[in-house]
Structure 1
Amino acid sequence: MGTKRILIVDDHPLFREGLKAILRRDAGLVIAGEAGGAAEAVRLARACAPDVVLLDISLPDRSGIHLARDLRARHPDLRILMVSMHTKVDYIVEAVKAGANGYVTKDAAAERLLEALAQVGDGGFYLDPAISQEVSRELLLGAQKREAAPANAYDSLTAREREVMRMVVEGLTTKEVADALAISVKTAEHHRCNLMKKLGLQNSVELVRFASRLGLID
């Protein structure tokens, strides 16, 4: 694994001491710093340049899940291992979606924490075996729902809205759409606004991407 610099983020001083004692068992792990809250963690992540952050979910000034998302945006190469007492699938799935590279419960054995650090530090992903099967199932179901969502949204469009969508995707202006369908520009714009609202899209670029995902265009 090589030497890895570790930043500990947890609001309980005694637990941080316990983590440091475990980390000192591995000569390849260097404690870069420790923080009791999110704001301090953001500062230390910039100042100490850690390789891995050990991060709790429950922090006094901000959720660790939100902090993980922030750290991932600020430091794309930073590895994040959540160490939390929360075992509910919802918490874990949200942490993974926020950018966490691993998740270990606080009641896990010291050896499991070191194993997780080794895997995450080397660019891998680690889920506590006690929760991994349930979490994997939830993540898979979520992915399937996201895949189904575009088709379901498209099915909600009327025949005329689908016509307008096809023309907009092909690059026609609102006036050109109106002329092609023999309707007023105001009516064409109304159909365009309606279909964008139904699909939850903001502009033509997003509409083109949506159509591509559905296979309506190359």
Structure 2
Amino acid sequence: MIRILIVDDHAILRAGLKHLLSESADIVVAGEAANGVDALALARSGAWDAMVLDMTMPGKSGIELIKQIKAENAKLPVLVLSMHAEDIYAVRALRAGASGYLCKDNAESQLEQAIRKVAAGGLYINPAVAEKLAVEVLGTAGNTTEVLPHTRLSDREYEVLRHIAAGLGVTEIGRLLNLSVKTVSTYKAHAMQKMGFANTAELIQYALKHDLVDQTRD
């Protein structure tokens, strides 16, 4: 039996996942957590075959949580289940140590397969993500691949960039990520400096050009 830990800050979504897996013959939801702190505590205290993790929760970001979980328990597979399309966060999640990435829109048809794959020690990603991961990690696609400026950003800088490009102000971003306005402004400034932008309009234009804004988000 595959024992999984579900981590999502929305109780209704956790209930939905449990219902989705309720008829599985070999997968059981043995624990739930609504935030990163509880997830870490449960990961330390239980014997899990896999963790199903929501990418975006208040406070500690999904990327940071993946890194901490893998630092403490390198053998625990983490399957990211996210509202964001694969091309938005998948590569960063995998580089942080995740074993798979699945968009919530595909959960009904693919969740059981994805859990079995990562629990068995495999990777669950679609071909497009695999190709993008190879390009960003190896830094090459033939001999002509350009290293795009946003790939140099830290995970938090990238997260702030995306929220700014989606039209959020620093106060709203701070509330969403549980960060101070000053901290958000610092991440924004660092991102603009690394990418060589003089103003927010240039940053937004770049993000839209390179499809860094999730158009599927409500």
Q: TM-score by structure 2 length?
A: 0.61
In structure 2, what is the equivalent of residue 122 of structure 1? 120
1:11 CA displacement: 0.6
In structure 2, what is the equivalent of residue 11 of structure 1? 9
User: Which secondary structure does the structure 1 equivalent of 2:106 belong to?
Assistant: coil
Mapping of residues 1-218 of structure 1, within 5 Å:
3-87=1-85, 89-127=87-125, 132-145=126-139
Separation in structure 2 between the aligned mates of residue 57 and residue 14 of structure 1, nearest angstrom: 16
In structure 2, what is the equivalent of residue 153 of structure 1? none
Separation in structure 2 between the aligned mates of residue 31 and residue 4 of structure 1, nearest angstrom: 8
Which 4+ runs in 1 deviate beyond 3 A?
A: none
Q: Which amino acid aligns with 1:22?
A: L
In structure 2, what is the equivalent of residue 178 of structure 1? none
Q: 1:76 to 1:145 in 2, by over 3 A?
A: same
Separation in structure 2 between the aligned mates of residue 145 and residue 111 of structure 1, nearest angstrom: 33
Percent of aligned pairs with the same residue? 40
Q: Which amino acid aligns with 2:7?
A: V
In structure 2, what is the equivalent of residue 165 of structure 1? none
Q: 1:21 to 1:136 in 2, by over 3 A?
A: same
User: Which secondary structure does the structure 1 equivalent of 2:81 belong to?
Assistant: strand
Separation in structure 2 between the aligned mates of residue 140 and residue 64 of structure 1, nearest angstrom: 22
Q: Which amino acid aligns with 1:91?
A: Y
In 1, are the aligned partners of 2:85 and 2:103 still within 8 Å (CA)? yes
Q: Which amino acid aligns with 1:21?
A: H
Separation in structure 1 between the aligned mates of residue 132 and residue 113 of structure 2, nearest angstrom: 24
**Whose relative contact order is higher, 1 or 2, with alpha carbons under 8 Å and at least 6 apart?**
2
Gap runs ≥5 in structure 1 = 149-218
In 1, are the aligned partners of 2:21 and 2:112 still within 8 Å (CA)? yes
Post-superposition Cα deviations, 1:134-153, rounded to whole Å, max 9, x if no partner, equal 3222212123328x9xxxxx
Q: TM-score by structure 1 length?
A: 0.61
1:109 CA displacement: 4.3
Separation in structure 2 between the aligned mates of residue 74 and residue 144 of structure 1, nearest angstrom: 26
1:67 CA displacement: 0.5
Separation in structure 1 between the aligned mates of residue 17 and residue 88 of structure 2, nearest angstrom: 25
Separation in structure 1 between the aligned mates of residue 25 and residue 129 of structure 2, nearest angstrom: 32
Q: Which amino acid aligns with 1:135?
A: V
User: Which secondary structure does the structure 1 equivalent of 2:74 belong to?
Assistant: coil
Separation in structure 1 between the aligned mates of residue 41 and residue 79 of structure 2, nearest angstrom: 18
Count of residue correspondences: 142
